[in-house]
């Protein structure tokens, strides 16, 4: 009897259960796959039918909305972009196989010859590129490959006058972008320019907000500033405010655009003996949507938190000091003068730093780090997160063949 049962068990295990034959059921199963880059491509390679299901744009939007709606679910950090020689974003993957996305998968056609472009970073999975020559802003979704252009008001931001040039910009997307709405349906763009702090007796910063739902640019608003706006350094979204770093000529501050109040203001930066002209600064968000600032001086990183004070300013408190030579896997002999902050992932609270040409990511909540690579270049890194890439067979094969 036992032998008979054993034969039955062996016989049963040799016949796999049939695959579901209902498309709706299959979609519900695929919807619950882990939001890793390899998940949908692997499913797409099973058969043509599965490939069609997981590459359907409507399903991909559902997949993104499903995982975005899960508690504390963040899209994976796929890698980062840097500005190439044309001013367009070039992708570098950082995930390990099989989730490593090929650089060519997230690419954008170079601009026309002679066009002067500036890459201004990412938010909500969308890139923002300013074409200074043709007076427009391009929004680009690397996953979908879709683009949308917005004309820049030349009366306010005209490159024929250096004082009227666009110095920086920021993008905001409606929550519907993560709730199943097609990308680029609802967004806002903020353009910023400044006077020349060095030559102007009363320099100001100016900005205007474009709302895609109305197709209209808002009125210019302004505030006095005491330091130059760092060009091409992405804004950081802290609560309901967009923040840019102001630094130079012996002064440091933060330009804050309050979206709820539609107001622009400069606030002070912390003052400390360890913050010098050689320190590297990065705006952060802190707990409870508070304003933060990372200060890197050699191998010492300070994390400051700013809170509104009774004097209508910001009071800063030192929250943590991190000795990177004790945290990171560094060589015994390093050159502390080569300490850089390359970028910040505001969604995951992850900072990119390099010490003596070794590049690391540091999750500032957990203090977990990853050694990425060694490089002699010191560009700005623009971290990129996305829940998935297209589930087509070609893309799946491209990923799996590189594992």
Burial class (CB in 10 A: 0-12, 13-18, 19+), 281: buried
Taking only the tens place, the pLDDT of each residue in 250-261 is: 889 999 999 999
Instruction: Give the model's pLDDT for residue 322.
Output: 93
Phi, psi of 108 (to 5 degrees): -135, 135
More confident residue, 43 or 145: 43
What is the average pLDDT across 90-96? 89
Taking only the tens place, the pLDDT of each residue in 305-358 is: 998 765 557 889 999 999 998 898 887 778 777 899 999 999 899 999 999 889
Taking only the tens place, the pLDDT of each residue in 101-131 is: 888 888 777 777 778 888 888 888 888 998 8
Nearest to 340 by CA among 390, 277, 287, 296: 296
Handedness of CA 317, 245, 374, 98 (dihedral sign): positive
Q: What is the mean pLDDT of the chain?
A: 82
Instruction: Give the model's pLDDT for residue 311.
Output: 58
Please, which residues have CB within 8 angstroms of residue 274's CB and are 6 or more apart in sequence?
295, 297, 300, 302
* R_g over Cα of the chain: 24
What is the average pLDDT across 68-90? 77
Please, which residues have CB within 8 angstroms of residue 107's CB and are 6 or more apart in sequence?
90, 91
Instruction: Give the model's pLDDT for residue 15.
Output: 63
What is the average pLDDT across 295-299? 92
Residue for token pair 């780090």: 369
As a whole-number percent, the residues of the chain with pLDDT over 70 amount to 83
Checking if the pLDDT of 246 tops 90, the result is yes
Instruction: Give the model's pLDDT for residue 178.
Output: 45
Q: What is the pTM of this model?
A: 0.84
What is the average pLDDT across 387-400? 51
**Helix-, strand-, coil-residue percentages of the chain, each rounded to 5:** 20, 40, 45
Instruction: Give the model's pLDDT for residue 73.
Output: 65
For residues 188 and 175, is the Cβ–Cβ distance under 8 A?
Answer: no
Angle between helices 57-69 and 23-31 (to 10 degrees): 40
Handedness of CA 233, 236, 242, 244 (dihedral sign): negative
Residue for token pair 């440091």: 252
Instruction: Give the model's pLDDT for residue 401.
Output: 47
What is the average pLDDT across 372-383? 87
For residues 133 and 115, is the Cβ–Cβ distance under 8 A?
Answer: yes
Give the pLDDT band of residue 384 (cuts 50, 70, 90). very high
296 vs 306: CA distance, rounded Å? 17
């Amino acid at each position: 009897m036992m032998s008979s049962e054993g034969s039955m068990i062996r016989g049963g295990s040799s016949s796999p259960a049939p695959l579901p034959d209902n498309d709706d059921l299959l979609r519900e199963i695929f919807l619950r796959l882990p939001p890793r880059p390899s998940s949908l491509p692997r499913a797409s390679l099973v058969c043509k039918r599965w490939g069609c299901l997981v590459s359907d744009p409507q399903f991909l939007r559902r997949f993104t909305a499903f995982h975005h709606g899960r508690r504390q679910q963040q899209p994976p950090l796929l890698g980062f972009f840097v500005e190439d020689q044309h001013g367009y974003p070039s992708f570098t993957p950082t995930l390990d196989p099989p989730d490593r996305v090929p650089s060519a998968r997230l690419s954008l056609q170079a601009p026309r010859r002679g066009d002067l472009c500036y890459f201004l970073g990412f938010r909500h999975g969308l890139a923002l590129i300013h074409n200074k020559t043709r007076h427009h802003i391009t929004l680009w979704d690397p996953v979908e490959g879709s683009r949308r252009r917005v004309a820049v008001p030349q009366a306010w931001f005209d490159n024929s006058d250096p004082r009227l040039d666009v110095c920086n910009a920021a993008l905001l997307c409606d929550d519907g972008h993560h709730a199943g709405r097609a990308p680029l349906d609802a967004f806002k763009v903020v353009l910023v320019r400044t006077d020349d702090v060095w030559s102007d007796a009363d320099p100001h910063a100016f900005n205007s907000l474009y709302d895609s739902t109305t197709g209209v640019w808002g009125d210019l608003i302004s505030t006095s500033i005491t330091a130059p706006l760092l060009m091409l350094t992405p804004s950081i979204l802290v609560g309901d405010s967009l923040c840019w770093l102001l630094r130079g000529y012996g002064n440091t501050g933060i330009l804050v655009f309050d979206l709820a109040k539609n107001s622009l203001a400069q606030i002070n930066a912390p003052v400390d003996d360890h913050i010098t002209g050689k320190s590297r600064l990065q705006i952060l968000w802190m707990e409870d949507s508070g304003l933060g600032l990372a200060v890197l001086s050699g191998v010492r990183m300070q994390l400051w938190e700013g809170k509104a004070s009774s004097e209508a300013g910001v009071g800063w408190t030192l929250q943590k000091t991190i000795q990177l030579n004790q945290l990171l896997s560094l060589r015994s002999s390093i050159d502390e003068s080569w300490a850089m902050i390359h970028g910040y992932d505001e969604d995951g609270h992850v900072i990119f730093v390099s010490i003596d040409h070794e590049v690391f990511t540091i999750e500032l909540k957990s203090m977990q780090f990853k050694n990425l690579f060694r490089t002699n270049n010191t560009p700005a890194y623009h971290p990129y997160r996305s829940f998935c890439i297209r589930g087509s067979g070609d893309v799946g094969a491209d990923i799996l063949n590189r594992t």
